[in-house]
Structure 1
Amino acid sequence: ARALMCRSDLLLLDEPTNHLDLEAVVWLEGWLKSYRGTLLLISHDRDFLDGVCTHVVHMEQGTVTLYSGNYTAFERLRAERLALQQSTFARQQREVAHIKSFVERFKAKASKARQAQSRVKALERMELVAAVNADSPFTFAMRVPDKLPHPMLQLNNVSAGYGDKPIIVGVKLSLAPGDRIGLLGVNGAGKSTLIKLLAGDIAPLAGERVPSQELRIGYFAQHQLEQLRPEWSALEHLRHAHPKETEQVLRDFLGGFAFVGDMALAPIAPFSGGEKARLVLALLVYQKPNLLLLDEPTNHLDLEMRDALALALQDFEGAMVIVSHDRYMLRATTDRLWLVRAGSVTEFEESLDDYPRWLAEQEALDKAREQPAGDELEAENSAAARKEKRRLDAELRKKQQPMRNKLATLEQEVARLTAEQAALTEALSDAGIYEETQKTRLMQTLAQKTQVDLALSEAEEAWMLLAEALEE
């Protein structure tokens, strides 16, 4: 807050969304969009980066590369660059092998010695292209639960809180295998209280919590990072929880979370917050839970680990309830949203993209309710105007739906043409296609690439025009 309040020409933010709730992230995103100075930002939140950034600086293996556009554009452009780099690397390796073979065959022959020496010098002058190394270091998956009871857990008219003060009241819900639920609500509304209630960390003040006898909970919360033993290694933490497993099985499993070699055996005292979070997640996954309760699991995690976690959760066969300010994670892993507000827990009927608008409307309604009695008529008029605006907005969304459908179709077409373009570029990088016997295939490939380039350009332009029309 202090950084934002100071008038500045340059704003430096290092992971500003860590520990913020979703509502605060949405507010900060809006504020930064209107900031008139230069912003330099480090973040692992895709949606946040997409919302505020116009350029991306990517640092990898000692090099710095500048990309134009937001994070989504960066991912597409980097994928294209990596595809081209891999194609160029493969072609160059074939050329190097050919030169080395020539030198080995003819370096001892006097008649070919000069040519062989010339090839050696050409090889020395060649600027070698690096092989692409873009694989994620994370290769874990959720373990299949032993049992999937139905229902797993029920809350019957439960109230919960601390001391004798309830935070949430009258909660009725049932969790079953396959449930994917994201919790929405401002800080202090009771999201973490609900998670703790589901986990059994706190007892109901009223009502009944009914777990299945076969319920096995995997619970992630930030305080668990502080409960790790700093003098223990990652392997010792896992072995302490599962003493009957062999060391090799445990080390193989930890390798999926990038705890390999000495890192798996060294004390965790110097671990970063992200590394500790990875270890807690590894301990959780190994338990084979059938119900996951995740309270801000992406804090401190880098983008690669967030991607790996999202993929693992998509394949999870049990039930999951998650609190997260990471909108990408919520979209990727949940299909239902529960709203925790004013002491109640209800289904949020709209989409995650509608949530910022809904928040703004609720804030306006709350302010209207707080107006003095003399302003009641004005408040009523304001409420009527908001109601009319919501009706008009709903009407506009309905009218725009065909355009949104068309936009989604165009996005798929752009992705298809981009992949086809990369394949044709790779085909043209093969030296064999330029041989006399391949002349017909070369001409066909060139003609096809020209058509694909044109189609891709037209599709991207159509997408841009349609996206701009939807924003107006």
Structure 2
Amino acid sequence: MLSSRSLMIPSHITVLHVEQEVAGDDTPALQSVLECDEKREALLKEEKALNAKLSSSSPGQDNSLSTRIADVYKELEAIEADKAPARAAMILSGLGFASKDQIRPTREFSGGWRMRLALARALFTRPDLLLLDVATDIIHLHSCKLDTYRGNYEVFHKTREERLKNQRKEYEAQKQYRDHIQVFIDRFRYNANRAAQVQSKLKLLEKLPELKPVEKESEVVLKFPECDKLSPPILQLDDLVFYYSKEKILFNKVCVNANMDSRICIVGDNGAGKTTLLKLLLGEMDPCSGHRHAHRNLRIGYFSQHHVDQLDLTLNSVQLLASRFPGSTSEVYRGKLGLFGVTGDLALRPVSSLSGGQKSRVAFAVMSMTNPNFFILDEPTNHLDMETIEALGDALNKFQGGVILVSHDERLIRKICKELWVVSGGIVTSLDGGIDEYKKLVQAELDSN
């Protein structure tokens, strides 16, 4: 509603809406930034069309076309259109894009780099208001209402719990007071001597505000299927070497292993090769040398950070599961979707109409259809709200198989992961002690630089 100006947004305020899912296509990175300046793009397009018309026009039309072209040039000059590519390049450079990366297609970038592109687009438009997840105020949407809270998410969570606690106390006190009055009315309703008092109590009861119980937030629950335990070794890489070109080796002599009890998070800079490492673990890519060993009964469930690209958006969720895994009844598909909160009419809506978080839940259901005994998850929290991230952490802790994930979400990493694989400089290092040990490592590197 904000981005479509359905609300009362002053006309002089420009709005750029960055979608939850950052699309990747053949557009070069620099051009994708330039394209978000809609006015400049429209003027350049008009200039091109006018010049084409001018070259093929009759003498009588030249004057009007020339006048308009002159106006277009003035407008382009006023917005300094000629300086835009240099400004876009400078913003991209500041966000870590080398000159050669700025001409690469957006589809070649990882999810983390695509989010940097989205930030570059936002900065390039010089917005009056930039909305990011760095919060000073929280607006909580629930029960068709908006409640505002000062402070970040942690403050919101604490304040909300306190507010709900007070509301429950107030409700109980009000209910007790009403019940006390009602007992008096019921006891003396037919007592002529107490008629005036009963009438007074009835009027008092009528004047009291409507008693509304505290609305409960619907609890988010995710549930992964049960699986059989496998005896080790489960999944390992031995002396693995991988590169796209020999001049730049991405991984050199990597030795790692995971078992059924593993809860491993892969961390490292954007572009370090985290997603490539997942694909090597999956067996989707072959090492240039070294080996990948997997248990013969290993069934991996894979969640891609670009999972939306793999969903047929024209189908509803039940149809989607039926098309991928034919042969079961509608009730079976609904049951699977229900484990991830996709129930009722929601399961019959086109996938295209679902929010980013709901699409993620459908992707979890798709991933679980083969009853996997090992999960490999690439940025599973990208579109999930806080409550669903908590539920995902609980579900992964209860899952009986192994888990390897890539995530930037500290809450999830802290909740489930005791071991981290640090991807840096072509090697993968196993780090015990969880996210705090990794933070110390990063801080030590920053201090040394």
Q: Which bin holds the TM-score, normalised by the shorter protein?
A: 0.5 to 0.7
* Number of equivalenced pairs: 339
- Is 2:233 the partner of 1:151? yes
Give the corresponding residue for 2:154.
Answer: 72
Secondary structure class of the residue paired with 1:150: coil
Secondary structure class of the residue paired with 1:80: helix
Judge which range, 87-96 or 103-112, deviates more: 103-112
Give the corresponding residue for 1:87.
Answer: 169
The structure whose residues are more often helix, as a share, is: 1
Q: Distance between the aligned counterparts of 1:93 and 1:245, measured in 2?
A: 50
Q: Distance between the aligned counterparts of 1:249 and 1:105, measured in 2?
A: 55
- Is 2:367 the partner of 1:319? no
Shift of 1:66: 4.1
Give the corresponding residue for 1:142.
Answer: 224
- Is 2:329 the partner of 1:329? no
- Is 2:293 the partner of 1:210? yes
**1:183/1:339 contact within 8 Å kept:** yes
Secondary structure class of the residue paired with 1:93: helix
Opposite residue 61 of structure 1, the aligned amino acid is: S
Secondary structure class of the residue paired with 2:250: strand
Secondary structure class of the residue paired with 1:325: coil
Give the corresponding residue for 1:234.
Answer: 317
Q: Distance between the aligned counterparts of 2:359 and 2:154, measured in 1?
A: 28
**2:265/2:405 contact within 8 Å kept:** yes
Q: Distance between the aligned counterparts of 1:13 and 1:78, measured in 2?
A: 31
Q: Distance between the aligned counterparts of 2:337 and 2:170, measured in 1?
A: 35
Q: Distance between the aligned counterparts of 1:97 and 1:247, measured in 2?
A: 48
User: Is the alpha carbon distance of 1:103 and 1:253 closer, same or farther for their aligned partners in structure 2, counting shifts above 3 Å?
Assistant: farther
- Is 2:278 the partner of 1:278? no
Secondary structure class of the residue paired with 1:82: helix
Give the corresponding residue for 1:431.
Answer: none
1:197 pairs with one of 280, 290, 308:
280
**1:15/1:42 contact within 8 Å kept:** no
Shift of 1:94: 3.8
Q: Deviations over 1:62-91 (max 9, x none)?
A: 444444443223222221221222232233
**CA RMSD across the alignment:** 3.6
2:265 pairs with one of 182, 196, 204:
182
Opposite residue 83 of structure 1, the aligned amino acid is: K
**1:153/1:175 contact within 8 Å kept:** yes
Q: Distance between the aligned counterparts of 2:222 and 2:112, measured in 1?
A: 28
1:61 pairs with one of 117, 140, 143:
143
TM normalised by structure 2 equals 0.65
Secondary structure class of the residue paired with 1:269: helix
1:306 pairs with one of 367, 386, 389:
389
Opposite residue 281 of structure 2, the aligned amino acid is: L
Shift of 1:116: 3.6
Give the corresponding residue for 2:305.
Answer: 222
Q: Deviations over 1:97-130 (max 9, x none)?
A: 4544554565566554443443333233222453
User: Is the alpha carbon distance of 1:335 and 1:350 closer, same or farther for their aligned partners in structure 2, counting shifts above 3 Å?
Assistant: closer
Opposite residue 415 of structure 2, the aligned amino acid is: A
Shift of 1:253: 3.9
Shift of 1:282: 2.2
Q: Distance between the aligned counterparts of 1:118 and 1:13, measured in 2?
A: 60
Q: Distance between the aligned counterparts of 2:407 and 2:432, measured in 1?
A: 18
Give the corresponding residue for 1:345.
Answer: 428
User: Is the alpha carbon distance of 1:157 and 1:242 closer, same or farther for their aligned partners in structure 2, counting shifts above 3 Å?
Assistant: same
Secondary structure class of the residue paired with 2:301: strand
User: Is the alpha carbon distance of 1:246 and 1:108 closer, same or farther for their aligned partners in structure 2, counting shifts above 3 Å?
Assistant: farther
Q: Deviations over 1:314-334 (max 9, x none)?
A: 222211111111111111111
User: Is the alpha carbon distance of 1:12 and 1:177 closer, same or farther for their aligned partners in structure 2, counting shifts above 3 Å?
Assistant: farther
Q: Distance between the aligned counterparts of 1:13 and 1:192, measured in 2?
A: 29
Sequence identity (%): 36
Give the corresponding residue for 2:104.
Answer: none
User: Is the alpha carbon distance of 1:349 and 1:333 closer, same or farther for their aligned partners in structure 2, counting shifts above 3 Å?
Assistant: closer
Give the corresponding residue for 2:81.
Answer: none
**1:152/1:177 contact within 8 Å kept:** yes
Secondary structure class of the residue paired with 2:342: coil
**1:183/1:322 contact within 8 Å kept:** yes
**2:138/2:156 contact within 8 Å kept:** yes
Opposite residue 393 of structure 2, the aligned amino acid is: A
* Alignment of structure 1 residues 374-389 onto 2, 5 Å: 386=448
User: Is the alpha carbon distance of 1:350 and 1:258 closer, same or farther for their aligned partners in structure 2, counting shifts above 3 Å?
Assistant: closer
Shift of 1:143: 1.9
Opposite residue 235 of structure 1, the aligned amino acid is: V
- Is 2:178 the partner of 1:96? yes
**2:20/2:383 contact within 8 Å kept:** no
1:119 pairs with one of 201, 206, 224:
201
- Is 2:341 the partner of 1:258? yes
Secondary structure class of the residue paired with 1:130: coil
Q: Distance between the aligned counterparts of 1:126 and 1:251, measured in 2?
A: 45
**2:229/2:260 contact within 8 Å kept:** no
Q: Distance between the aligned counterparts of 1:102 and 1:245, measured in 2?
A: 61
